[in-house]
Amino acid sequence: MLYPSGLVISESSSVYSNFRADLSLAEFIEGRGMPVLYGADTQHITAMLREKPGIRGLLSNGEHDDRKMTEAINGSVLSSGYVLPPACLPEVPAVQEDLRGKVIAVINLGLKKSEMKWLSGSGMSLIVVNLSSPGAEDDISRADGLYISSGPDSMALLEDACGISERFAGKMPVFGAGLGHLVVGRLLGSSVSVSMVNHYGVNHPVVDIETGKCFITEQMHSLVLEKKSLPGKTLKYSHLNDGTPEGLYDHEMKAMSVSFIPQEKHFEAFFSLIKE
């Protein structure tokens, strides 16, 4: 499980009464060695982030060096764009060695249990490869479809995943979710925007461009595709609040993607492309 590296809080209570709690928030924070800023005007900070998404900052005690703090903040930006601290990606082994029927290759960028649940329930054989897996491209070439998983907002991971996936675009159905959505966008010729957004948590309204139907999604990302760079009529879903691209579909390339956590209907659409 991933935890935040720091916490900004308006007011903290030392009293806790939930019957499942065995320690206070302060004790939990102290146990993890997490820096905390108390007494902050969190409403003001929220308003700032809404106006200027992606603002970078750090927490420091009273004794600090402005030059070192500036260097630390600027050090979080790479020449290829914004990048979050690299997550520890689990090495997921291949699910099946005896491949039968249709085969789905899965590029693991930080695969979630829910993603594996839907993929495993497809009735198709699975090949799961990691970016560090030897012969990953050879393994993918044995498949009938390619799924690119979700993962952290990392430009480094994005570039590596694009390098592996590009030779299969247009040759087999491709479905990307989360970080995989950015990969699919890149494969279709789109650019990734360095203007970060704050799409975290539940209740993010997304509209289906074709039907006009709106639904609520769960999201965990900051990087988005540049809408102006999307080729043709590939935009499938759009964020109702800020208009950022939330999903793509290219009929000719048989490529699809969603930036939010995919649901059953999205996987079923992908499976249908493979069965065709």
> How far is 173 from 9, CA to CA, in rounded Å?
45
Q: Please give the residue range of the domain that contains residue 195.
A: 103-275
Identify the CA nearest to 240 among candidates 267, 264, 216, 271.
216
88 belongs to a structural domain: no
Together in a domain, 78 and 111: no
Q: Is the pLDDT of residue 76 over 70?
A: no
96 belongs to a structural domain: no
Together in a domain, 116 and 216: yes
55 belongs to a structural domain: yes
72 belongs to a structural domain: yes
| 3 state SS of 75 | coil
Together in a domain, 150 and 261: yes
The number of folded domains in the chain is 2
65 belongs to a structural domain: yes
- The pLDDT score that the predictor gives to residue 90 is 46
- pLDDT more than 90, % of the chain: 45
1 belongs to a structural domain: no
pTM of the model: 0.76
Q: Going by DSSP bridges, is the β-strand pair 145-148/199-208 parallel, antiparallel, or unpaired?
A: unpaired
Which one is predicted more confidently, 267 or 97? 267
| 3 state SS of 128 | strand
> How far is 144 from 273, CA to CA, in rounded Å?
10
> How far is 54 from 200, CA to CA, in rounded Å?
12
Q: Determine contact, residues 104/124, Cβ cutoff 8 Å.
A: yes
Together in a domain, 123 and 24: no
108 belongs to a structural domain: yes
Which one is predicted more confidently, 232 or 87? 232
Q: How far is CA 57 from the centre of its chain?
A: 21
Together in a domain, 68 and 107: no
Together in a domain, 67 and 116: no
Q: Is the pLDDT of residue 248 over 70?
A: yes
Indicate the range of 41-55, 91-105, 126-140 predicted with least confidence. Answer: 91-105
Together in a domain, 74 and 125: no
Together in a domain, 55 and 138: no
